[in-house]
């Protein structure tokens, strides 16, 4: 069969593809990168390319996204074009994944934890056996290390080890189990790795287990994003073939090993001295890391293959640390409330609180845990990808060039751009800011409609009014975020506000349903803990203004950062916290909010923005 040539002149490369191959596949085969938040479903509109020459019939999705003029100029969605002849294609900058993603790594964390780690090292000096006291090797060791448990493998190693080292050496224990014997005194070299596997980013921290202190932290984009931005795309991808499942597992394992390698090199630590690892991720990420098929997670009733905590050796998992290192996988609460939330509960010490508290992790999937009268209730809310920038026309992740903060002050609009470069788009925190600011200034009404310049409240500056521009169809208004004379104009469109209402409304409706289930009101809440990398960057006043979180005094709303990573560190340092992590998941009442009869009504109410008079 004839192969067609697909060239990318701007990138000076080309590939050959069979008829029917998607252009998206050609791009990845050419080792080029393109955004694909919806994993090629044709819904996110982020994989925009321009056909420079050749035939590419516009699909229905292309016609929805692009105007007639853009279609005639060659604009298409790469995932919706199937090759039927030679093509010359341009990948515009805006379609290439962002560089310089801001990842909350807790690089400066000075936290240290109460030390009672699972893994301990002890240097031993044994008596040399004699004819007068012909003590066996094992009894000789047990005399020094009482209550220890040994396996056959170590018993086989022990005679040579003791004689080679003149009856001294370092023993490594996981609780009472001997896991390794090391030459010389290596008590000072006992390290651990905590990992947070997020859907978007992976973060690892290296800990010194003699002090409980973090030596350093590294993060990177989760390479699985090539299979789509959200967990549903990954579930679908792994369900398509065993090959996909294997490659999803390999991608995340390679990423974690890369971060471990970087940390070891930076802090001059040998991999072989890392004896414990903890991994926290959402249910999908943990299963994919373990290489477990998760088709059932994509279907009602969303069953995870496992829920209890798991322990494996590093060698079983392929982690590049000491092969005997004990690896703790956090338990999961439900299909969409995973180990990262359990880890967050460990970090936030929710069990030690007595007053009503809401823990919320804001992301593509919002997870909420409510503590009331000693009982924990958990739920998840499918917020969609708006906070990650997908489905927002100018949306992007928090990376170089993203508008990350917006303020309206004295009738002027002020924007803050990551790295102070020319703005390329808007990230989730700024989307919340601009919505809150427009509500405050009356440029947006409580239903979420952007008003016309004529409808603006008295006293609105002309500068702001000029930013309200009639949309292409003439039915709605858009709000210009960049200066009027800027080369690249960035707008917040009416449909972007609708996407935010859907995302925020889903999370808020889930909070309200949990409050109702527990029989507690919003005003009775003592505190709200906002977790997660995204949550760290949002501003509490604005999050309250759009109704995303309950309207409590600022002092009662705390941002707790990457609590998933913090919890993963805590269990390495403290056996008590590890026990808590092991037991907590089973004590949580999981509420499937979407099946609650009141969900639709709560969701519809939560989509409305709160009244200005409440603030
Ligand atoms: S529209 Fe093509 S990847 Fe989303």
pLDDT at site 612? 75
Task: Verify that 86 and 156 share a domain, yes or no.
Answer: no
Query: Is there a contact between 112 and 212 (Cβ–Cβ < 8 Å)?
Result: yes
Task: Verify that 417 and 348 share a domain, yes or no.
Answer: no
Q: Are strands 527-531 and 491-492 parallel, antiparallel or unpaired?
A: unpaired
| Structure letter (DSSP) for residue 424 | -
CA distance 246 to 251: 9
Task: Verify that 455 and 579 share a domain, yes or no.
Answer: no
- 589 forms beta bridges with 377
Single out the residue in 436, 458, 492 at which a domain terminates: 492
Q: Is 127 inside any structural domain? A: yes
513 Cα: distance to centroid of ligand 1 (angstroms):
33
127 Cα: distance to centroid of ligand 1 (angstroms):
69
pLDDT at site 39? 73
- 588 forms beta bridges with 376
Return the percentage of the chain with pLDDT > 70, whole number. Answer: 97
Per-residue pLDDT band at 113 (split at 50, 70, 90)? low
Query: Is there a contact between 90 and 47 (Cβ–Cβ < 8 Å)?
Result: no
pLDDT at site 111? 54
Which numbered atom of ligand 1 lies nearest the CA of 65?
1
224-260 confidence digits (pLDDT tens):
988 888 888 899 999 999 999 999 999 999 999 999 9
Structural domain of residue 606, as residue ranges? 340-385+500-614
Q: Is 499 exposed, middle or buried (0-12, 13-18, 19+ CB in 10 A)?
A: buried
Q: What is the mean pLDDT of residues 556-579?
A: 92
Task: Verify that 515 and 607 share a domain, yes or no.
Answer: yes
Per-residue pLDDT band at 110 (split at 50, 70, 90)? very low
pLDDT at site 106? 57
Q: Is 104 inside any structural domain? A: no
- 217 forms beta bridges with 205
Task: Verify that 534 and 571 share a domain, yes or no.
Answer: yes
Is pLDDT above 80 for 518? yes
396 Cα: distance to centroid of ligand 1 (angstroms):
14
Q: Is 36 in the pocket of ligand 1 (CB under 6 A)?
A: yes
Task: Verify that 475 and 576 share a domain, yes or no.
Answer: no
Q: Give the CA angle between residues 204, 207, 212 to the nearest 5°.
A: 140
Task: Verify that 84 and 166 share a domain, yes or no.
Answer: no
Best CA proximity match to 173, nearest among 140, 209, 212: 209
CA distance 562 to 571: 15
- Total count of domains within the chain: 4
Q: Is 123 inside any structural domain? A: yes
Task: Verify that 467 and 522 share a domain, yes or no.
Answer: no
pTM of the model: 0.85
| Structure letter (DSSP) for residue 165 | T
Q: Is 42 in the pocket of ligand 1 (CB under 6 A)?
A: yes
- The residue behind tokens 């069979």 is 18
pLDDT at site 487? 84
Q: Can you give the CATH number for the domain in which 371 is found?
A: 3.30.420
Handedness of CA 408, 413, 418, 423 (dihedral sign): positive
Q: Is 45 in the pocket of ligand 1 (CB under 6 A)?
A: yes
Best CA proximity match to 408, nearest among 387, 389, 436: 436
Least confident range from 67-71, 283-287, 310-314: namely 67-71
Which numbered atom of ligand 1 lies nearest the CA of 36?
3
Q: Can you give the CATH number for the domain in which 79 is found?
A: 3.10.20.30
Q: Is 275 inside any structural domain? A: no
Is pLDDT above 50 for 51? yes
Q: Can you give the CATH number for the domain in which 129 is found?
A: 3.10.20.880
- The residue behind tokens 């967990």 is 231
Which numbered atom of ligand 1 lies nearest the CA of 228?
3
pLDDT at site 105? 61
Q: What is the mean pLDDT of residues 510-527?
A: 95
Most distant CA pair in the chain, distance: 104
Task: Verify that 533 and 598 share a domain, yes or no.
Answer: yes
Single out the residue in 182, 204, 221 at which a domain terminates: 182
296 Cα: distance to centroid of ligand 1 (angstroms):
25
Handedness of CA 280, 281, 286, 288 (dihedral sign): negative
Q: Is 38 in the pocket of ligand 1 (CB under 6 A)?
A: yes
Is pLDDT above 50 for 108? no
Task: Verify that 42 and 10 share a domain, yes or no.
Answer: yes
Q: Is 471 inside any structural domain? A: yes
Query: Is there a contact between 439 and 548 (Cβ–Cβ < 8 Å)?
Result: no
CA distance 603 to 510: 8
Q: Is 79 in the pocket of ligand 1 (CB under 6 A)?
A: yes
Handedness of CA 51, 56, 61, 66 (dihedral sign): positive
Q: Is 333 inside any structural domain? A: no
391 Cα: distance to centroid of ligand 1 (angstroms):
10
Question: When comparing pLDDT for 399 and 104, which is higher?
Answer: 399
78 Cα: distance to centroid of ligand 1 (angstroms):
7
Q: Is 23 inside any structural domain? A: yes
Q: Is 56 inside any structural domain? A: yes
304-352 confidence digits (pLDDT tens):
999 999 999 999 999 999 999 999 999 999 889 999 999 999 999 887 8
pLDDT at site 162? 96
Least confident range from 96-100, 148-152, 542-546: namely 96-100
Instruction: Give the residue ranges of DSSP H helices in 100-182.
Output: 137-144, 152-164
Q: Is 74 in the pocket of ligand 1 (CB under 6 A)?
A: no
Q: Are strands 375-382 and 365-372 parallel, antiparallel or unpaired?
A: antiparallel
Task: Verify that 597 and 535 share a domain, yes or no.
Answer: yes
465-506 confidence digits (pLDDT tens):
999 999 988 899 999 999 888 888 999 999 999 999 999 999
Task: Verify that 564 and 523 share a domain, yes or no.
Answer: yes
Coil, helix or strand at residue 434? helix
Single out the residue in 29, 61, 95 at which a domain terminates: 95
């Amino acid at each position: 069969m004839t192969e067609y040539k697909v060239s990318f002149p701007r990138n000076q490369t080309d590939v050959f593809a069979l008829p029917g191959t998607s252009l998206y596949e050609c791009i990845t085969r050419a080792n080029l990168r393109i955004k694909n938040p919806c994993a090629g479903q044709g819904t996110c509109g982020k994989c925009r390319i321009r056909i420079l020459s050749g035939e590419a019939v516009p699909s229905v999705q292309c016609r929805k996204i692009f105007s007639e003029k853009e279609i005639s100029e060659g604009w298409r969605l790469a995932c919706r074009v199937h090759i039927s002849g030679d093509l010359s294609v341009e990948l515009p900058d805006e379609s290439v994944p962002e560089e310089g993603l801001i990842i909350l790594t807790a690089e400066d964390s000075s936290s240290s934890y109460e030390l009672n780690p699972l893994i301990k090292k002890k240097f031993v000096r044994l008596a040399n056996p004699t004819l007068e006291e012909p003590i066996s090797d094992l009894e000789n060791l047990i005399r020094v290390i009482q209550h220890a448990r040994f396996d056959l493998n170590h018993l086989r190693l022990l005679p040579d080890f003791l004689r080679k080292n003149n009856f001294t050496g370092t023993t490594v224990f996981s609780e009472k189990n001997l896991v390794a014997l090391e030459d010389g005194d290596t008590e000072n070299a006992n390290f651990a790795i905590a990992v947070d596997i997020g859907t978007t980013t992976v973060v690892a921290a290296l800990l010194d287990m003699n002090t409980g202190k973090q030596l350093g932290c590294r993060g990177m984009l989760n390479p699985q994003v090539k299979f789509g931005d959200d967990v549903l795309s990954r579930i679908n991808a792994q369900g398509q073939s065993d090959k996909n499942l294997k490659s999803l597992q390999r991608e995340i394992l390679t990423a974690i090993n890369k971060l471990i390698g970087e940390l070891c090199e930076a802090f001059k630590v040998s991999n072989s001295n890392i004896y414990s690892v903890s991994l926290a991720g959402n249910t999908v990420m943990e299963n994919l890391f373990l290489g477990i098929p998760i088709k059932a997670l994509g279907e009602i009733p969303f069953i995870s293959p496992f829920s209890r905590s798991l322990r494996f050796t590093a060698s079983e998992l392929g982690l590049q640390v000491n092969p005997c290192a004990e690896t703790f996988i956090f338990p999961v609460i439900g299909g969409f409330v995973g180990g990262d939330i359990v880890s967050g509960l460990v970090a936030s010490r929710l069990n030690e609180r007595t007053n009503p508290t809401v823990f919320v992790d804001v992301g593509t999937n919002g997870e909420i845990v409510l503590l009331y009268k000693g009982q924990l209730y958990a739920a998840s809310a499918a917020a969609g990808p708006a906070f990650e920038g997908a489905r927002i026309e100018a949306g992007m992740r928090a990376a170089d060039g993203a508008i990350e903060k917006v303020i309206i002050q004295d009738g002027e609009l002020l924007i803050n751009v990551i790295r102070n470069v020319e703005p390329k788009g808007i990230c989730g925190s700024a989307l919340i800011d601009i919505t809150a600011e427009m509500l405050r200034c009356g440029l947006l009404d409580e239903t979420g409609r952007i008003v016309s310049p004529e409808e603006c409240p008295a006293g609105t500056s002309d500068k702001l009014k000029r930013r309200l521009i009639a949309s292409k169809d003439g039915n709605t208004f858009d709000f210009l975020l960049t200066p009027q004379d800027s080369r690249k104009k960035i707008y917040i469109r009416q449909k972007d506000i609708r996407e935010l209402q859907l995302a925020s409304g889903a999370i808020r409706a889930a909070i309200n349903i949990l409050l109702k289930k527990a029989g507690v009101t919003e005003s009775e809440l003592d505190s709200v803990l906002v977790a997660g990398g995204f949550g760290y960057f949002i501003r509490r006043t604005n999050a309250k203004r759009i109704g995303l979180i309950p309207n409590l005094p600022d002092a009662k709303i705390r941002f707790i950062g990457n609590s998933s990573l913090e919890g993963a560190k805590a269990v390495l340092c403290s056996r008590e916290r590890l026990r808590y992590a092991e037991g907590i998941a089973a004590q949580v009442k999981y509420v499937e909010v979407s099946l609650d009869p009141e969900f639709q009504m709560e969701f519809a109410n939560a989509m409305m923005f709160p009244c200005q008079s409440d603030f």
